[in-house]
Amino acid sequence: MRETTTAATAETARTRTPESRLDSSAILLGSSGPTSLARSTPLSRFYITTAIDYVNGRPHLGHAYEKVLADVIARFHRQRGDQTWFLTGTDEHGQKVATSAAEAKLEPQAYADQNARHFQEAWKALDVKHDQFIRTTDQRHELAVQELFRRLYDARSPKTGEPVLFEGDYEGLYCEGCEGFKQEKDLDADGCCEIHRTKPKKIRESNFFFRLSEYDDALLQHLDKHPEFIEPDYRRNEVVNVIREGLQDVSVSRPNLPWGIPLPEEIPDSAGHTAYVWADALLNYLSALGWPDRKYSLWWLAKQADIGGPGAARQDEFERLDAQGRPGAAWAGTAQPLYTNAFHLIGKDISRFHCVLWPALLLAAGVPLPRQVYVHGFIYARGERLSKSLGNVVDPVELANRFGVDALRFYLIDAIPTGRDGEFTLEQFVEHVNTHLANKLGNLASRTITLVHKYFGGKAPVEWAPDAFADPAAREALDALVAAAGVAATEVPKAYAELRLNEALEHVWNVVERANEFTDRAKPWESGKDPARRGELGTTLSALLESLRLVAIWAWPVIPRKSEQLWTLLGFSGTPLEARGDVTQPRYGAGDGRTLGASEILFPRIDLEAATKA
């Protein structure tokens, strides 16, 4: 049956196969030296995805922010022993890519191949350790998209029982930058897209539509029962308001656009139609895991004891949300109920696609929803969002090469509250890095290790005599340091787990600051001159070494290279990745006499004037 629609809104792996994997064994640090622990039992199965990036340009700082954010979350889960799978990739179909390829005088596939490499190289340069990089031109992905359309063709809508996929005419506005259909209310006063600052094109097409309008109740029911499905809460409220205002049926195909995935021939009158780029791109989260084969549930779903975080729903809940949809194999009878487990990390500009269109498509196709969609903010430069279309992009690889990859990673996580918008200028970046990394952590590590070499021959002191301090202020500062570390031991992993990444670093740097204050009170450069005060000196340096050990562990998800360098300087084998369980707890007391590495400058100060001129 043919219907007419006058407005529509919408909001294969290149690496190894997703398989179960355990991190290496932990290292237990005791007074008698490093001791190996048996491999720990994983706490959960954690599947994290990012948005896949259009290949119509090179990676910019906005892309890098999301990938670093995801990498920090994935590293935290790996460090605590969770089985973790981290997926990212590139979105290579659609009008925008076809247009950019033509401008570059390349065939679309050659253009996609060229630019996909830029993204892969960028994430390698930024120490983003994804497990899988998917490209939507992978054949396995294309076959999965066609299976999605077969299921949509067979499915019936939850309210009227009408086919969820139908053919109709569309006349309206289309923003090529968003690859999205727009209504007048979505535009600014000048009639431009608020994100790309360009006027959408008026188009008239005969498309296949998805009956999104009938999924409002199902989506609201799911959000009511599982509010953690969308986080933070203010983003959830935005999506709920959009749903309550009324959803409209959305085009899921484009005619006469050859650079895309053809609709399956089983769908009548589908010749010449390719999948709308969002119906194509969103499916990467499933196709990367092998969907529609049952093996995709290895990461998409989990047993109750293995759930990777909040928002999980039992697989059979969705049958009640959409009784008309075609049941998927994953929620067929199983010996033990499974729960949703996929975690999507995306930017706020694509929240409607991920929080409205994507779950509705899944319900229609008979697939359980993801566990949670976390929506992060934008990075702005002097009030403007970083965007290729606005011409104010910042090259993250150039920044990392000039100033250090960990310096950039630290700024992105520490200076930008997780979930909120952030600002980037070179001046802010340099000041933040110099203050927190060079002055606070770098100086603490350098002078501590230097003093150990000067007064203890490079061996960790075995002295521990807190009552030896003649100055009460020094003892008070030591107590404050130990107390701060005790708080951090609880609050750092909690903040990481709750996606308050900048707050996790606040607790870590509180220990750094208390350690520097203690150093200033204890004055080890003075006690080192008096043999009678050796117990005081040894106690001071033992406390500082323990503080640095904890910082190396807790900061590792954010600054892995420098944390590993510091770990080695402190005389430990392995890496902070392997430290979990009791190893992550404060152990202030006598040292073990291990040999430290030679003092090094972890974070050289950045000269702003020189950096500005470069």
Q: In the predicted model, is pLDDT for residue 355 greater than 90?
A: yes
* Stated pTM of the model: 0.89
Task: Express each pLDDT in 249-299 by its tens digit.
Answer: 999 998 988 899 999 999 999 999 999 999 999 999 999 999 999 899 999
As annotated, the residues of the chain forming the CATH 3.40.50.620 domain(s) are 46-393
**Alpha-carbon dihedral of residues 70, 75, 78, 79, nearest 10 degrees?**
-150
CB 376 within 8 A of CB 419: yes
Residue 408: pLDDT band by 50, 70, 90 thresholds? very high
Pairing of strands 27-30, 45-50: unpaired
Task: Express each pLDDT in 549-587 by its tens digit.
Answer: 999 999 999 999 999 999 999 999 999 999 988 999 999
As annotated, the residues of the chain forming the CATH 1.10.730.10 domain(s) are 428-613
Q: Which amino acid is at 263?
A: L
Q: What is the pLDDT of residue 392?
A: 60
DSSP assignment of 295-355 equals: GGHHHHEEEGGG--STT--BTTHHHHH-TTSPPPGGGS--SS-EEE-EEEEEEGGGHHIII
Q: What is the pLDDT of residue 170?
A: 73
Q: What is the pLDDT of residue 104?
A: 94
Cα Rg for the chain, rounded, in angstroms?
27
With 0-12 / 13-18 / 19 or more C-beta atoms within 10 angstroms meaning exposed / middle / buried, residue 495 is buried
- Range 327-340 average pLDDT: 62
Q: In the predicted model, is pLDDT for residue 532 greater than 90?
A: yes
Residue 255, both tokens: 């005619």
Task: Express each pLDDT in 187-207 by its tens digit.
Answer: 666 677 666 567 777 767 789
> What's the sign of the alpha-carbon dihedral 599, 605, 610, 614?
positive
Q: What is the pLDDT of residue 610?
A: 80
Task: Express each pLDDT in 21-62 by its tens digit.
Answer: 333 222 223 333 322 222 344 479 999 999 999 999 899 999
Q: What percentage of the chain reaches a pLDDT higher than 70?
A: 85
- For 46-393, the fitting CATH number among 3.90.180.10, 3.40.50.970, 2.120.10.30, 3.40.50.620 is 3.40.50.620
Q: Which amino acid is at 259?
A: W
Task: Express each pLDDT in 147-168 by its tens digit.
Answer: 999 999 999 999 999 999 999 9
Helix H or strand E encompassing 544? helix 534-555
CATH class for the domain made up of 428-613: mainly alpha
> Mean pLDDT for the chain?
88
